[in-house]
């Protein structure tokens, strides 16, 4: 069985879609706000555009690190960023965002094929553990994007 995965993650972010797009569309800043997962990032700065490439070192709760590049293949502000994965991961990732009355629904469709030695070989046995590792990273991302954007906006509705 190949070491292929598909993860569909959904964050509900109570902030404007443009602000959320700016954060998820800047992988160079991931180590600043998602530092328990993204240890380093280097590459092209600026807004997402086809051809931009960022190389990251990332980890989950398991004792290994992954090195891979995200190469933007398409960007449609503020609703979509599609990337190709190269390195310990190959495959694709796509952020899809939509406005829901001032709250942003932010979905990640992550389709990695794992190339990292050891992880690839252990996939048939440890797939559930690797899925739990991914879920751990995404829960932290949900928490940290709220912190990055200033937490929950003030309650403006009447009870």
Q: Is the pTM of this model over 0.75?
A: yes
Cβ neighbours, 10 Å, residue 11 = 20
Length of the chain: 159
Q: Is 156 within a domain? A: no
Please tell me the total count of domains within the chain. 1
Cα 85 to Cα 9, 15, 32, 89, 144, distances in angstroms: 17, 28, 21, 6, 23
What pLDDT score does 11 carry? 98
Work out the angle between the directed axes of helices 119-148 and 17-24 (0-180°, nearest 10). 140
Whole-number Å distance between alpha carbons of 20 and 72: 17
Instruction: Label residue 136 exposed, middle or buried (CB < 10 Å: 0-12, 13-18, 19+).
Output: middle
Residue 156 has pLDDT above 50, yes or no: no
Q: Is 157 within a domain? A: no
For residues 75 and 50, the answer to whether their CB atoms sit within 8 Å is: yes
Please name the helix (run of DSSP H) or strand (run of DSSP E) that holds residue 147, with its range, or none. helix 119-148
CATH number of the domain within which 69 lies:
3.30.530.20
Q: Is 103 within a domain? A: yes
Residue 140 has pLDDT above 70, yes or no: yes
Spatial CB neighbours of 117, under 8 Å, sequence gap ≥ 6: none
For residues 71 and 80, the answer to whether their CB atoms sit within 8 Å is: no
Q: Is 159 within a domain? A: no
Give per-residue pLDDT as tens, 102-134.
999 999 999 999 888 888 888 888 889 999 999
Range of the domain at 128: 7-148
Label residue 157 by pLDDT band (50, 70, 90): very low
Instruction: Label residue 83 exposed, middle or buried (CB < 10 Å: 0-12, 13-18, 19+).
Output: buried
Q: Is 154 within a domain? A: no
């Amino acid at each position: 069985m190949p070491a292929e995965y598909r993860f569909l993650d959904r964050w509900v972010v109570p902030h404007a879609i443009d602000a959320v797009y700016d954060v998820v569309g800047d992988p160079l800043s991931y180590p600043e706000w998602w530092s328990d997962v993204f240890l380093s990032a280097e590459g092209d700065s600026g807004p997402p555009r086809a051809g931009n490439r960022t190389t990251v070192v990332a980890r989950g709760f398991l004792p290994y690190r992954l090195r891979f590049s995200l190469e933007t293949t398409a960007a449609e502000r503020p609703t979509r960023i599609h990337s190709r994965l190269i390195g310990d991961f190959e495959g694709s990732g796509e952020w899809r965002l939509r406005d829901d009355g001032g709250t942003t629904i932010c979905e990640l469709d992550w389709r990695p094929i794992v190339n990292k030695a050891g992880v690839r070989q252990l996939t048939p046995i440890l797939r559930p553990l690797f899925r739990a590792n991914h879920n751990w990273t995404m829960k932290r991302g949900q928490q940290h994007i709220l912190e990055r954007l200033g937490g929950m906006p003030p309650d403006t509705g009447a009870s």
